Structure 1
Amino acid sequence: MSYLACVFLTVLILDSCTSLAPRYGNVESPLRVQPEPGRFQTPRVFEAGSVSSQLGEEEKGGYSQKNDRQDALASYLKRHRKLGAWKNVSCDICIFVVSEIRHMTEEAASVEEIVKAVTKFCIFFKIEDEHVCTLIVPQFQEEVLYVVDNLILSPGEACGIVIGDTCSTPYFPGDMWNVTFPDKPKPEPRPPTPPKPNAPILKFLHLTDIHLDFQYAVGSPVPCGEPLCCRVDDNVTVTGQAGKYGDYYNCDAPLDMLTSLFSHLSSIQDQFDFIIMTGDIPAHDVWSQSRTEQVAHVTALDKLFTNYLPNKPVYSCVGNHETSPINAFPQPGIPGQDMTWMYGAMAESWGKWLPLSALDDVLRCGIYSVSPYPGFRIISINNNYCNTGNWWLLLNSTDPCNVLQWFVGELQKAEDSGEKVYLLMHIPPGSTDCYKYWSHNLYNIVNRYENTIVNQFYGHSHHDWIMMFYDNATFTRPLGFGFVSPSVTTYSFNNPIYRIYTMDGNYTGSSWAVLDYNNFYMNLTEANAKGNPQWIFEYNPKKDYNMTGLYANDWDDLIQRLQKNDTLFQLFYKHYSSMYQGTPCHGNCKTDILCDMVEGRSYDPDLCQQHIRP
């Protein structure tokens, strides 16, 4: 999920911060908050030494006084809003605020003074209500102040890296790096071969983005004035009321819904052999979370698996919501920033299905490699180390935690021993939530080991789609893809969904590739109305999309057909949106989704231009 505004201590005025919702495609629902058309193109850069020149003379008088800087900032921004330049000010604000925080620290301003200034900004411009602003700013104070204080980049360079090239195109040597491959030639690509009829199969369950909300309250008001609703502390009067099993409007998963889901899964557990879970366990109340609460969510999910599915191995990866504050994944070696509190909880939860040798990697970086069956390996990558919302990466983004270099080593061992690999990650690596060079390095890794990596699995977006990888010579030959699975949470405007895959089974010569899958969902409206939730069949891609297989070539063919056949695309969009009955998706909405599907590496519009916008 993208929480860029919150990571900037709520100081980046982006439309997406209002709902804290994922931004994959232009989802045209009348209830969704839509982004402004177009992004800023030519922002004015405020250098730290010339900020006061942008202020009126009446504001300069006491500007050097620490307690006047807050009012100067508010006055400047108020003028910007009156001038009608508001939609173009996001980059300016980023640079201005980073400059101001750095300037205040140089003047020995206290943490309390800085927090007060940013909180005042948040409230004054109604980025969120006063309750959220007051709580969320302190959540990030330690991270942001440490990073700004130790930053070797200028404010413009920092904002260019985090916001993107539309803000600035900085020279940042730490952002440009390459993993090292072993001195072994790449084997000739081997096209996938479907298994023989009646060959053994395995099945596995995919859950993602559960977002359990301990404070969900049946009958609480919806909508509310905060980014997350349906909670016990919502103090607004509206006609809507949260249902027992969830609500479409910015609400997370109540325990009643998860109890229904796991009870149902227990009743059909003979239909799958193992489980993958691709991250995001806690709720979206990012302004009021603590380490204790985050660990409690990990423990609660572990108990659900233990109580309802005790004999099913569970293989997980780390989501960006697991830590507190959200997105904060410091690299090893930063003083006072030990991630053992979180990785230790995960090692305890995951350890029952992992060898002891794998737990060292879990405790170090939240990663692991495990072989559930001879010839088959699952590798779990913590790609929060590519998360553009992770401020710690501004200090050093060169393969944080050595994750990708470790990944290359694991893949080489798998190639040498003839193993096939499933890759689990939370964030789809081609999204703009992933740093460019991390994403491009991963793309190269997938290219090099295309015969070894047979499938990839992501979460994060809460929608249902795929992400393609093409050969990095011509970008025309599809050689891999990732399944982006829809969420269990209803946040926002989704029905809860789970997926069961069929894969080539455990026998000599197995490809271990995914052969098919079925989605199942709860119709939230009916469940709340009747009080008897049912988990029913949603769709099968081979039948609904007329696909002969689920290999990379098949998905590439589907994308081409989705461009030409709008009836087929609207069916795809219905599943993309988890059966929520919104408005159809046409024009830019359709193009954006199709571009997301072909952009397996981030910040590379040429992929969209080549495949979708010729």
Structure 2
Amino acid sequence: MRINTLLLACGLSASFQGVHAEANTEKTIATIWDDFKNAVDCGGCQALLGTLKVASGLGEKFWLDVFTGLCTITGIEDPDVCSGIIAAEGPSLYAALKTMHLNSGTSKTLCASLLGLCPYPEVRPYDLTFPSPKPKTVRPPPSGKSPIKVVHFSDTHVDLLYETGSNYECNKPICCRAYEDKDAPGVTEHPCGPYGNPQCDPPARLQESMHAAIAQINPEFSIYTGDVISHDVWMVDQAKVLEGLNATYSAIDRDIGTVYASIGNHDTAPLNLFPPTNASKDDDPEWAYQALAEDWFSLTGVPSVQDADQYGSYSAVHPGSNLRIISYNSVFYYIYNFLMYGEPIEQDPRGQFEWLIQELQAAEDAGQRAWLIAHIPSGVPDHFRDHSQYFDQIVQRYEATIAGLFYGHTHTDEFQIAYSDYNNRDWNTATAMGYIAPAMTPTEGSASFRVYDIDPVTFGVLDYTQYIANISDPSYQVKPEWVPYYSAKADYGSKISPPVTDPKAEITPAFWHNVTVAMERDPSVFQDFWSRRVRGHEVEECDGDCAKSEICQLRAANAQYNCVKPKAFNFKRDGEESVLVEKDPHVNCDHAGMATIIAKMMHRAKIDRKKEIEAR
């Protein structure tokens, strides 16, 4: 009785009282579905969470059965996809709801992140402590010496079960597999080619082709910013993750040479879930950390990478250089990491911010430059805003030491700029540059990798060239050709003021701020960027307010300043029209597992609600 009184006092729906009184699956599904349909604002979302919270009081199995029933009955996914995803990630969301306080910062963050129905709460203050005051040193000038080449690739997502000739127009989240007889080679009218399809994760042979192209460039070393495992998230278990990690990292070791890597949100099972503190055996991905530590040691030979078995992070000084590479686990700060939704949300999960400070201080004391590599960029909408602000404190303190930040995850070609003063974002307040590399998997554009020209003394980025294998080229399915797509300095340097075309000049944070100014001054510069972002694949219209918002996003390594308002997601299934909600182009929700399920439920609820209103 006390639970119902509390929820009613919060102004929430009384419909869930029957849920608490009787463990009836069908009745509970109907009650929760009504709350989905009525969740049109933040209060409605809190009411929905209240119903889900009460249902959680009837036990984990009952709660999972209800959620699986909702997914199946609404037809948003095939039954095997519903049951597989919910069985994997559902227990973590169930546990979060059990302890969550309604109308708290945690619950509002969940509503903002998953359904776009609450505004993001204000960032909670959290002042990090640094071992020494910030020195007066500044970024070192370029050395003028001949650059070295470093390759950056990301989000390979190789599908070990890819079947050439199978259906690329299937009902599953990823295709190019013979899920049913109608999908089989020789039967389907939509056969996928031997080197991949935009509806599918890539086959191993595409990865082999990319590795061969990288080997011809002969880089000093490479960086890989995570996501090995394919997107069949309803089928992935520990054995499949280990098989995928072994296959990809063995191929990298065989084909490329020295590679420094970071952990992706898909590189464990269930995906996305990394506990912020010491966890129970069921929640602890220690097995993934240990496997990655072994793989990464094999790639680098640097003993310190073995420290990654603690929580997926390590620091390594590249042999014979003055460069410290720090790979950190950014998935702790992922809004779909349901293990983070405690009361309150942990501010420094696994003490990683403290560890980052120690490593950067060591670099500063030794006169080294530092690269930070991670999977999820700090400024994107699916990064917790609180933790983006805390991370930005570290970036600002060590701006003279940090030569660059390198990310993947979005599958698109983007960048983000950090500023010492976000209320005065200008070239002279730009302090750090985050490079976001597009993916090898072709779901958001042609497969791609990047080659940086790096100053061998300062390790600043002098230029980069993006390479693609154009999936629209008629010869692609015979033998992909990896060709230069554009150059940062050649295609942007002459369009900024003052121009930067000297091959020995660094493309600094100020350079990239001036690129965004050129986008504002000349819309064609923005449109070129917008097309390159997806390698010319299905380029959505973006001008006016859309362009302003996107430029703001580029100027926001601190996520609270990215101008992005919470949004729900736009889906199509079985030919139905999806016009009721917007799509956030920076969040690849179809790959987010349980988050996709919830967002699709909300979309279906909006369709049903609209039909009910029209029928009155």
What TM-score, normalized by structure 1, do the two folds share? 0.81
Question: Are positions 1:518 and 2:518 aligned together?
Answer: no
Question: Are positions 1:470 and 2:422 aligned together?
Answer: no
Deviation track 1:573-603 (CA, whole Å, cap 9, x = no partner) reads 2211123253543234423321210111112
* Aligned counterparts of 2:10 and 2:163: Cα–Cα separation in 1: 47
* Aligned counterparts of 1:53 and 1:208: Cα–Cα separation in 2: 44
One-letter code aligned to 1:190? V
Deviation track 1:325-345 (CA, whole Å, cap 9, x = no partner) reads 111001342222332210010
* Aligned counterparts of 2:475 and 2:255: Cα–Cα separation in 1: 23
- Which residue pairs with 1:326 in the alignment? 271
How far residue 402 of structure 1 moved from its aligned partner, in angstroms, is 0.6
| Aligned ranges 1:362-373 → 2 under 5 Å | 362-372=308-318, 373=320
- The 8 Å contact of residues 527 and 534 in structure 1, kept in 2 or not, is answered as no
Count of matched residue positions in the alignment of Structure 1 and Structure 2: 538
Q: What SS class does the counterpart of residue 499 from structure 1 fall into? A: strand
* Aligned counterparts of 2:446 and 2:78: Cα–Cα separation in 1: 28
Q: What SS class does the counterpart of residue 310 from structure 2 fall into? A: helix
| Aligned ranges 1:597-608 → 2 under 5 Å | 597-605=554-562
- The 8 Å contact of residues 379 and 423 in structure 1, kept in 2 or not, is answered as yes
| Aligned ranges 1:437-586 → 2 under 5 Å | 437-472=386-421, 474-476=424-426, 477-492=429-444, 494-505=445-456, 510-526=457-473, 531-547=478-494, 548=500, 549-580=506-537, 582-586=539-543
Question: Are positions 1:411 and 2:368 aligned together?
Answer: no
- The 8 Å contact of residues 151 and 214 in structure 2, kept in 1 or not, is answered as no
Change (3 A) 1:167 1:191: same
* Aligned counterparts of 1:97 and 1:595: Cα–Cα separation in 2: 32
- The 8 Å contact of residues 99 and 155 in structure 1, kept in 2 or not, is answered as no
How far residue 291 of structure 1 moved from its aligned partner, in angstroms, is 1.1
Partner residue of 1:379 out of 299, 319, 326: 326
Residues 298-307 or 585-594, more deviating: 585-594
* Aligned counterparts of 2:467 and 2:476: Cα–Cα separation in 1: 19
* Aligned counterparts of 1:168 and 1:579: Cα–Cα separation in 2: 34
- Which residue pairs with 1:290 in the alignment? 237
Residues 151-160 or 201-210, more deviating: 151-160
* Aligned counterparts of 1:102 and 1:540: Cα–Cα separation in 2: 52
* Aligned counterparts of 1:592 and 1:212: Cα–Cα separation in 2: 33
Deviation track 1:197-217 (CA, whole Å, cap 9, x = no partner) reads xx1321111110111111222
* Aligned counterparts of 2:394 and 2:558: Cα–Cα separation in 1: 12
* Aligned counterparts of 1:79 and 1:364: Cα–Cα separation in 2: 41
How far residue 385 of structure 1 moved from its aligned partner, in angstroms, is 1.2
- Which residue pairs with 1:153 in the alignment? 101
- Which residue pairs with 1:135 in the alignment? 84
Partner residue of 2:194 out of 235, 244, 267: 244
* Aligned counterparts of 2:385 and 2:227: Cα–Cα separation in 1: 23
Change (3 A) 1:411 1:53: closer
Question: Are positions 1:347 and 2:320 aligned together?
Answer: no
Q: What SS class does the counterpart of residue 93 from structure 2 fall into? A: helix
- The 8 Å contact of residues 448 and 468 in structure 2, kept in 1 or not, is answered as yes
- The 8 Å contact of residues 286 and 311 in structure 2, kept in 1 or not, is answered as no
How far residue 169 of structure 1 moved from its aligned partner, in angstroms, is 6.7
One-letter code aligned to 2:452? Y
- Which residue pairs with 1:428 in the alignment? 377
Change (3 A) 1:46 1:440: farther
- The 8 Å contact of residues 243 and 528 in structure 1, kept in 2 or not, is answered as no
- Which residue pairs with 1:256 in the alignment? 205
* Aligned counterparts of 2:141 and 2:12: Cα–Cα separation in 1: 67
Q: What SS class does the counterpart of residue 253 from structure 2 fall into? A: helix
- The 8 Å contact of residues 46 and 92 in structure 1, kept in 2 or not, is answered as no
- Which residue pairs with 2:33 in the alignment? 77
How far residue 177 of structure 1 moved from its aligned partner, in angstroms, is 2.4
- The 8 Å contact of residues 35 and 47 in structure 2, kept in 1 or not, is answered as no
Question: Are positions 1:279 and 2:226 aligned together?
Answer: yes
* Aligned counterparts of 1:607 and 1:520: Cα–Cα separation in 2: 29
Identity %: 25
What TM-score, normalized by structure 2, do the two folds share? 0.81
Change (3 A) 1:584 1:154: closer
Change (3 A) 1:567 1:172: closer
How far residue 120 of structure 1 moved from its aligned partner, in angstroms, is 1.1
- Which residue pairs with 2:167 in the alignment? 221
Q: What SS class does the counterpart of residue 21 from structure 2 fall into? A: coil
How far residue 568 of structure 1 moved from its aligned partner, in angstroms, is 1.9
- Which residue pairs with 2:613 in the alignment? none
* Aligned counterparts of 1:322 and 1:62: Cα–Cα separation in 2: 37
- The 8 Å contact of residues 479 and 552 in structure 1, kept in 2 or not, is answered as yes
Residues 295-304 or 123-132, more deviating: 123-132
Change (3 A) 1:607 1:588: closer
Change (3 A) 1:79 1:552: closer
- The 8 Å contact of residues 158 and 201 in structure 2, kept in 1 or not, is answered as yes
- Which residue pairs with 1:201 in the alignment? 147
Residues 370-379 or 462-471, more deviating: 370-379
One-letter code aligned to 2:436? V
* Aligned counterparts of 1:607 and 1:219: Cα–Cα separation in 2: 40
* Aligned counterparts of 2:9 and 2:82: Cα–Cα separation in 1: 28
- The 8 Å contact of residues 211 and 280 in structure 1, kept in 2 or not, is answered as yes
- Which residue pairs with 1:41 in the alignment? none
Where does structure 2 lack aligned partners over 5 or more consecutive residues? 495-499, 501-505, 566-616
Change (3 A) 1:590 1:115: same
- The 8 Å contact of residues 192 and 551 in structure 1, kept in 2 or not, is answered as no
- Which residue pairs with 2:22 in the alignment? 65
* Aligned counterparts of 2:555 and 2:121: Cα–Cα separation in 1: 28
Q: What SS class does the counterpart of residue 323 from structure 1 fall into? A: coil
- The 8 Å contact of residues 48 and 99 in structure 1, kept in 2 or not, is answered as yes
* Aligned counterparts of 1:119 and 1:206: Cα–Cα separation in 2: 39
* Aligned counterparts of 1:177 and 1:530: Cα–Cα separation in 2: 52
One-letter code aligned to 2:471? L
How far residue 176 of structure 1 moved from its aligned partner, in angstroms, is 4.2
* Aligned counterparts of 1:181 and 1:607: Cα–Cα separation in 2: 31
How far residue 434 of structure 1 moved from its aligned partner, in angstroms, is 1.4
Deviation track 1:542-579 (CA, whole Å, cap 9, x = no partner) reads 11123514111110000000122122222222211123
One-letter code aligned to 1:604? Y
- The 8 Å contact of residues 224 and 234 in structure 1, kept in 2 or not, is answered as no
- The 8 Å contact of residues 196 and 442 in structure 2, kept in 1 or not, is answered as yes
One-letter code aligned to 1:582? V
Partner residue of 1:99 out of 33, 50, 57: 50
| Aligned ranges 1:590-601 → 2 under 5 Å | 590-601=547-558
- The 8 Å contact of residues 444 and 472 in structure 1, kept in 2 or not, is answered as no
Residues 558-567 or 346-355, more deviating: 346-355
One-letter code aligned to 2:129? T
One-letter code aligned to 1:495? S
- The 8 Å contact of residues 204 and 276 in structure 1, kept in 2 or not, is answered as yes
